[in-house]
Chains A and B, each alone.
Chain A
Amino acid sequence: MNKLIGGLLVSALALAATPAFAQDALTLQLKWVTQAQFAGYLVAESKGFYDAENLDVTILPGGPNIAPEQVIAGGGADIIVTWMAAGMAARETGVPLVNIAQPFKRSGLMMICPTETGIKTAADFPGHTLGVWFFGNEYPFFAWMNKEGIATDGSEGGVTVLQQSFDIQPMIQGQADCISVMTYNEYGQALDAGYGPDNLTIFNYSEMGNDLLEDGLYVMEDTLADPAKVDAYTRFVKASMQGWAYALENPEEAAQIVVDMDETGAATLEHQLYMTGEVSKLVDATDPALDTATYERTVKALLDQKIIKAQPEGAYSTVVTDALK
């Protein structure tokens, strides 16, 4: 009897502790598996920054066979993290995505070639096999090749393109002469495998000016007509940037949070710490606004390469980032 009364009291207290108003529920679809690439969002969730903004955020991990654009089109998410090239291409196929914030200012994409292949500049590429990730990640590579005037369709004097696995195996096994890596992920694997600036030729997309905007936050266009939604997005971006700032200041704690939040158990503390360090070079935690000059350059590259056919209209909105200023 005492237990029953005790139980009732506890539940009554729990009820009283719940805020009287409901939290706004938002679902975020990540572009890839739970890792420090998304440290800002994971830290914001773990440290309660979203709760403080009265948001109930669900973070869905991605993976090799999850297209965030398709998830949001099917109503499975409110906000997605994706690359601008994939987002703009989806926009043209009938998923009206709008960029509301761009925490990643620089690209983490690189192509690396072991020096024994003899490749020193992009002019050495013809006749070689290059590893590229597909599933929406191939656009920067094709835009770059287009700029260099190198054929990728298997014709004479061009390069052979290989659909690459999400690791550095193709380079180690010699199946590809050059492979794609992210500074914050696979490049670390290459360093662990004994590769480095001494025995690698590194093509950094940002340094070559060939970077297309990476991890941005995208929502469906029609939801921006709803002021309540815009308000929720604004609080979401604010809390996320708080999360990014915290993660970049406390990389060790952030890496531990990422490892704890990875339900697959695949993330290791050492690698996530490396990733946090590398991601901090790409993210500006103080300013989530999209840089329109980089946006224009990205759109031009996509148009030049015929990834999109028409100049996109209304593909980004500053309504959220303006509200934060």
Chain B
Amino acid sequence: MNRAGLSRLQMVLALAAGLTGLVGLVLSLPSLGAAPLLALFFALSTVSLARFVLPLTVWLDGALAVLAAIALLAGLTTGVTLPGHHWLALLAGWAFAWLFVERLAAAIRAGSLPETGTSLLIPTVFGLALLVIWEVVTRGANVPPVILPPPSAIGARFVTEIPILWADFVQTFVKSVLPGYAIGCLAGLGVAILVDRSPFLKAGIMPIGNFMSALPIIGIAPIMVMWFGFDWQSKAAVVVAMTFFPMLVNTVAGLNAASAIERDLMATYAASYRQTLLKLRLPAAAPFIFNALKINSTLALIGAIVAEFFGTPVVGMGFRISTGVGRLAIDLVWAEIAVAAIAGSAFYGVIALIERGVTFWHPSVRGGRA
């Protein structure tokens, strides 16, 4: 820590941001009046170099990053590549955003800012910065929209196509993913309990299970379409095939998690197999089972989307993604990808929340607290 209260990385970032602003100020001097916001940003960035003598508040860095974003977005005009000093502003703005986040994190660690609320600010700033950079680079450098559309175009498409996106979501997520996920996971759990009881099944099924789980989905999908038809049933079948084995393998491992001494205790209580299973071994296996549920939540969505590439009724996320590329409606494809990402994260999040409630006793959940 030096006098300004900055770490080494923060010093480098502060210097880079300030100096880039200074260079930008010099370069934009001839055309200063044309973009007043940008000029203001450059001037303030240069002033921020004063932080090496005077302490400056962390919020100033945040405000400068926001100002840079506004100035850059305001400077975008269609069909014209941005002049050089705009790109300097992008660099400086990114440096200010980074510095802001670094200083926020340091302040939270030091206890001078409350953790609740401020810790949410960090991923928000990071995400917004990525979106601004994407927008400025695609539009500012005139990247053809069929290669990469700007996020604003994707957002506009998202809003206007909500009925289509919703129909695709229902077809893929509600009709294919959820039933397939439920059947695959329940079947994996049931077979794992059977396998656990029977050494014959264990020796027979486990190697085949490992073999089947290595089968590529693009190999199974066309076969499932042939067996179960073009509608959601074949997609659900692909999801079952994809989710069954992770569940089986994890549950079998989890059922062995209860230690010998705990099983001995149950035996001294004269507990039946059923009681031991329900009261000791399944709860002990819960972290493993939830692990499989979480892995499967994302696998199921991928499986259903890819399976839709091999023939569908004309609705579904996979259908829209594959045909959207063919029609060069790349912004619609990105909107569909956004839906998939939101649905996948929400699904994963719900399962993680249930896990917290169920495995409250596990060290990873109680965070070392007794």
Q: Please report A residues at the B interface, Cβ cutoff 8 Å.
A: 65, 67, 69-70, 73-74, 86, 89-90, 93-95, 132, 134-138, 160-165, 169-170, 173, 175
- Which residues of the partner chain A approach B309 to less than 8 Å between Cβ atoms? 65
Q: Which of A67, A137, A161, A170 meets B328, CB within 8 Å?
A: A67
* Contact across chains for B226 and A173 when beta carbons are under 8 A apart: yes
* Contact across chains for B230 and A163 when beta carbons are under 8 A apart: yes
* Contact across chains for A93 and B323 when beta carbons are under 8 A apart: no
- Which residues of the partner chain A approach B222 to less than 8 Å between Cβ atoms? 165
Known: A74-B147, A175-B230. A165 touches B323 (CB 8 A): no
Please give me the residue from chain A that is nearest to B222 by CB atom: A165
| Assembly CA distance A45 to B245 (angstroms) | 50
Known: A73-B144, A95-B144. A163 touches B328 (CB 8 A): no
* Contact across chains for B230 and A90 when beta carbons are under 8 A apart: no
Q: Which of B147, B313, B314, B328 meets A90, CB within 8 Å?
A: B328
Additional A-B contacts beyond A74-B146, A175-B230 (20; CB < 8 A): A69-B146, A70-B325, A73-B144, A73-B328, A74-B144, A89-B327, A89-B328, A90-B328, A95-B144, A132-B314, A134-B319, A134-B323, A135-B326, A135-B327, A136-B326, A136-B327, A138-B323, A161-B313, A165-B225, A165-B311
* Contact across chains for A93 and B230 when beta carbons are under 8 A apart: no
* Contact across chains for A95 and B328 when beta carbons are under 8 A apart: yes
- Which residues of the partner chain A approach B312 to less than 8 Å between Cβ atoms? 162-163
* Contact across chains for B226 and A169 when beta carbons are under 8 A apart: yes
* Contact across chains for B314 and A135 when beta carbons are under 8 A apart: no
* Contact across chains for A73 and B325 when beta carbons are under 8 A apart: no
Known: A163-B313, A163-B319. A134 touches B326 (CB 8 A): yes
| B190 touches A (CB below 8 Å) | no
Please give me the residue from chain B that is nearest to A134 by CB atom: B323
Known: A94-B144, A94-B145. A67 touches B230 (CB 8 A): no
Known: A134-B326, A135-B323. A163 touches B145 (CB 8 A): no
Closest CB in chain B relative to A26 CB, distance in Å? 21
- Which residues of the partner chain B approach A170 to less than 8 Å between Cβ atoms? 230, 311
* Contact across chains for B328 and A69 when beta carbons are under 8 A apart: yes
Closest CB in chain B relative to A174 CB, distance in Å? 9
Q: Please report B residues at the A interface, Cβ cutoff 8 Å.
A: 144-147, 222, 225-226, 229-230, 309-314, 319, 322-323, 325-329
| Assembly CA distance A164 to B312 (angstroms) | 7
Please give me the residue from chain B that is nearest to A132 by CB atom: B314
Of the listed residues B144, B222, B229, B327, the one surrounded by the most CB atoms of chain A closer than 10 A to its CB is B327
* Contact across chains for A134 and B146 when beta carbons are under 8 A apart: no
- Which residues of the partner chain B approach A70 to less than 8 Å between Cβ atoms? 146, 325, 328
| Assembly CA distance A73 to B325 (angstroms) | 13
Q: Which of B145, B313, B323, B329 meets A160, CB within 8 Å?
A: B313
Known: A160-B313, A170-B230, A173-B226. A94 touches B326 (CB 8 A): no
Q: Which of A89, A161, A165 meets B310, CB within 8 Å?
A: A165
* Contact across chains for B322 and A95 when beta carbons are under 8 A apart: no
| Assembly CA distance A239 to B44 (angstroms) | 64
| Assembly CA distance A93 to B144 (angstroms) | 10
| Assembly CA distance A90 to B313 (angstroms) | 24
* Contact across chains for B146 and A93 when beta carbons are under 8 A apart: yes
Known: A134-B322, A135-B322, A163-B230. A94 touches B146 (CB 8 A): yes
- Which residues of the partner chain A approach B326 to less than 8 Å between Cβ atoms? 67, 86, 134-137
| Assembly CA distance A191 to B309 (angstroms) | 27
Closest CB in chain A relative to B139 CB, distance in Å? 13
Closest CB in chain B relative to A129 CB, distance in Å? 8
* Contact across chains for B311 and A164 when beta carbons are under 8 A apart: yes
Please give me the residue from chain A that is nearest to B229 by CB atom: A175
Closest CB in chain A relative to B188 CB, distance in Å? 29
- Which residues of the partner chain A approach B323 to less than 8 Å between Cβ atoms? 134-135, 138, 163
* Contact across chains for A163 and B226 when beta carbons are under 8 A apart: no
Known: A67-B325, A175-B230. A162 touches B311 (CB 8 A): yes
* Contact across chains for A161 and B229 when beta carbons are under 8 A apart: no
* Contact across chains for A73 and B147 when beta carbons are under 8 A apart: yes
- Which residues of the partner chain A approach B225 to less than 8 Å between Cβ atoms? 165
| Assembly CA distance A23 to B314 (angstroms) | 46
Please give me the residue from chain A that is nearest to B315 by CB atom: A154
| Assembly CA distance A69 to B144 (angstroms) | 12
30 contacts between A and B (CB under 8 A): A65-B309, A67-B325, A70-B146, A70-B328, A73-B328, A74-B144, A74-B146, A74-B147, A86-B326, A89-B328, A93-B327, A93-B328, A93-B329, A94-B145, A94-B146, A132-B314, A134-B319, A136-B326, A136-B327, A137-B326, A138-B323, A161-B313, A164-B311, A165-B222, A165-B225, A165-B310, A170-B230, A170-B311, A175-B229, A175-B230
| Assembly CA distance A42 to B144 (angstroms) | 31
| Assembly CA distance A175 to B329 (angstroms) | 28
- Which residues of the partner chain B approach A135 to less than 8 Å between Cβ atoms? 322-323, 325-327
| Assembly CA distance A26 to B310 (angstroms) | 33
- Which residues of the partner chain B approach A94 to less than 8 Å between Cβ atoms? 144-146
- Which residues of the partner chain B approach A164 to less than 8 Å between Cβ atoms? 311
Of the listed residues B222, B225, B311, B312, the one surrounded by the most CB atoms of chain A closer than 10 A to its CB is B311
Closest CB in chain B relative to A81 CB, distance in Å? 15
Please give me the residue from chain B that is nearest to A169 by CB atom: B226
| Assembly CA distance A80 to B325 (angstroms) | 16
- Which residues of the partner chain A approach B311 to less than 8 Å between Cβ atoms? 162-165, 170
Q: Which of B146, B230, B319 meets A95, CB within 8 Å?
A: B146
- Which residues of the partner chain A approach B322 to less than 8 Å between Cβ atoms? 65, 134-135
Closest CB in chain A relative to B104 CB, distance in Å? 40
| Assembly CA distance A287 to B147 (angstroms) | 35
| Assembly CA distance A173 to B224 (angstroms) | 13
- Which residues of the partner chain B approach A95 to less than 8 Å between Cβ atoms? 144, 146, 328
| Assembly CA distance A169 to B310 (angstroms) | 12
- Which residues of the partner chain A approach B145 to less than 8 Å between Cβ atoms? 93-94
| Assembly CA distance A94 to B322 (angstroms) | 19
Q: List the 10 closest pairs (A to B, CB-CB), nearest first.
A: A135-B326, A134-B323, A136-B326, A73-B146, A93-B328, A161-B314, A90-B328, A165-B311, A163-B312, A67-B326
Closest CB in chain A relative to B238 CB, distance in Å? 15
Closest CB in chain A relative to B328 CB, distance in Å? 5
